[in-house]
Amino acid sequence: MPVTAATVLAARQPAMAPVFGTLTLFTGRMGSGKSTLALQNAFNRRQAGRPGVLLTSQDRAGEGIMSSRLGVTADAIEVDPEMDLVAMVTERVPAGGFVIADEAQFLTPAQVEQLAWAADEMAVDIDCYAIITDFLSRLFPGAQRLVELADVITPLQVEVTCWCGRPGRQNARIVGGEVARAGAQVAVGDTTETSAVSYRVLCRRHWRSGEPGPI
């Protein structure tokens, strides 16, 4: 049989398995449906028989849970900053499998690099769902590394508006009815108003002026 580019390629590609994975970043403000989409994509892949794992970090619903505000939840691996994701993927995800990571802004830059390694070296598809900026409008370090390394960046299309009707731009932290201007980068809260720390998406103008709208 003559050796052609096609035969060489066929010999190097195991049947049914991709030879590389894709690192995709799905982004949106709080309330843009990231967790809902993550759960739907995980469900679809498992229905199709693909092996994979779900990762989360500091989900509002508690440790080891990936939750959507629409009410859907799934068990997930809780990632802490010390977790070695190369070891995790090597142990739990075969080539051609997937990782779906919610709250991926809380990954460390080193963990994002580990997931990029898994995409390149283990042919695992990595989908990361993250908000990009914190309550002070600054990049989360993990989100920054994702922007730098992702093959594909997909903004979610769900509309999130400020109370004034303008497009929501900033993930404002509300403490005591005020737009917070200082504090730790990570303080877990929700977009409901029942907790001491809550979050509300504001337009840039009202985030700047510190007008959170009706509380």
Residue list 176-215, contact with Zn ion (CB under 5 A): 203, 206
With binding defined as CB under 5 A, does residue 9 bind Zn ion? no
Residue list 122-151, contact with Zn ion (CB under 5 A): none
Number of residues engaging Zn ion in binding (CB under 5 A):
5
- Does 96 carry a binding-site annotation? no
- Does 158 carry a binding-site annotation? no
Residue list 158-177, contact with Zn ion (CB under 5 A): 162, 164, 166
Cβ proximity to Zn ion, 19 vs 164, nearer residue: 164
Pick from 96, 161, 171: nearest CA to 132: 171
- Does 31 carry a binding-site annotation? no
- Does 49 carry a binding-site annotation? no
| Cβ pair 96, 69 in contact under 8 A | no
Q: Give the start-end residues of each E strand in the chain.
A: 23-27, 52-56, 65-67, 73-75, 77-78, 98-101, 125-130, 152-155, 170-175, 178-179, 197-202
Give the active site residues: 103
Pick from 173, 179, 147, 215: nearest CA to 30: 173
Cβ proximity to Zn ion, 200 vs 206, nearer residue: 206
Residues marked as binding? Answer: 186-189, 199
Residues that bind Zn ion (CB under 5 A): 162, 164, 166, 203, 206
